[in-house]
Structure 1
Amino acid sequence: MTFRLHTDGLSPERATLHLHGRLDAMTFGEFDAAAAPALEQMAGGGTVVLDLSALDYISSAGLRSIAKIRKAMRARDGHTLLVNPQPQVRKVFEIVKAVPVTDVFSSVEELDAYLDRIQRKMVDGGDDDA
C-alpha cells in the first residue's frame, strides 16, 4: 500500500493534513516532504491537525515524523492535534506514549468541542487548560 497526503484549511493559524495509507520506513520521507510546505507557512501559535482516519498503519519511522512536526510546532508555541485514528493506529500511540492522550481526538466534532471549551474559558477569564 502507498502513502498519500491531502491538505485543506491551510492558513497561518491552522492546517489540516489528511494521511492516507501506510506511514512507515518506505513512506515517511514522502510524508515529511509533503508536510513541509504547510509547516513553513504556520505562524506562531498555529495548530496542525493530523487527520488519521485513512491511515491504516504507522511504524516507528512514522512516529518519528509526527514527533518532528510536534517539535516544530512547539518551537513556535503551536500545537499538533491528531483526530480520527483507526483503532490499530491509536493503539500504537497508546503503547509507545508518543503523543499525550489529550492531543488525540476520536473525531473532528470532539476536537471542535475541545477547542470551543478552551476559547470560552479564555473569553470568560479562565485559564487555557481544558
Structure 2
Amino acid sequence: MAFNFNTGFENHIVRITLKGRLNSEQAHELDKEIKKLLKEHDFETMILDMKELELITSTGIGIIIKVKTYLSRLHKELIMLHMQPQVKKVFEIVHLLPTLNVFEDKNELDSYLYKIQKNPAEEI
C-alpha cells in the first residue's frame, strides 16, 4: 500500500490519519503537510492516528520527533493513537516510547483529554 494521509479538525485538535508505509519520500511529504497546517490553522493538539500505518523508517521517526519538538516549543501537544505492534516495536527499539504520548485507542485518549481539560493546572 502506498502512503497517504487524511486531515481533520475538531475543537482545536487536528487529526492526521496515516496509511501505508512512512519511508523517506513520504516522510518529507508529511513534513510539508504539517508545516502547512501550522501556518494555516490554529490548534492545540495534533493527533497522529496510526491505525493503518504498516511501516515506518528512521526518516519517518525523525519527522515525528522533529514535529514533537516544534509543537512543544509552541506549547502544543503531539499524540499518537492506535500504534500498530510492528511500528510500536520500532519506537521501543530506539527508546522513544517513554518520551511520547501514545494511546491504545480512542477511549484511552478521550479519558486523558478529559482529565487535562478538567484540571488543566494539575500534572497528568
Match of 1:112?
Answer: 110
CA distance in 1, matches of 2:50, 2:82: 5
Could you tell me the TM-score, scaled by structure 2's length?
0.88
Q: What percent of counterpart residues are identical?
A: 31
Match of 2:86?
Answer: 88
- The one-letter code matched in structure 1 to 2:13 is R
Match of 1:47?
Answer: 45
2:103 pairs with 1:129: no
Which segments of 5 or more consecutive residues in structure 2 lack a partner in the other structure? none
CA contact (8 A) 1:17 1:49 kept: yes
Distance apart, 1:102 and its partner CA? 5.6
Could you tell me the TM-score, scaled by structure 1's length?
0.84
Match of 1:2?
Answer: 2
Q: What is the aligned-residue RMSD (CA, Å)?
A: 1.9
CA contact (8 A) 1:10 1:38 kept: no
Q: How does 1:93-104 map to 2 (within 5 A)?
A: 93-100=91-98, 103-104=101-102
Q: 1:49 to 1:61 in 2, by over 3 A?
A: same
CA contact (8 A) 1:94 1:101 kept: no
Q: 1:2 to 1:68 in 2, by over 3 A?
A: same
Distance apart, 1:10 and its partner CA? 5.7
Distance apart, 1:120 and its partner CA? 2.0
2:60 pairs with 1:62: yes
CA distance in 1, matches of 2:89, 2:99: 11
Q: 1:100 to 1:40 in 2, by over 3 A?
A: farther
CA distance in 2, matches of 1:128, 1:91: 31
Number of equivalent positions: 124
Match of 2:69?
Answer: 71
**Which secondary structure does the structure 1 equivalent of 2:25 belong to?**
coil
**Which secondary structure does the structure 1 equivalent of 2:46 belong to?**
strand
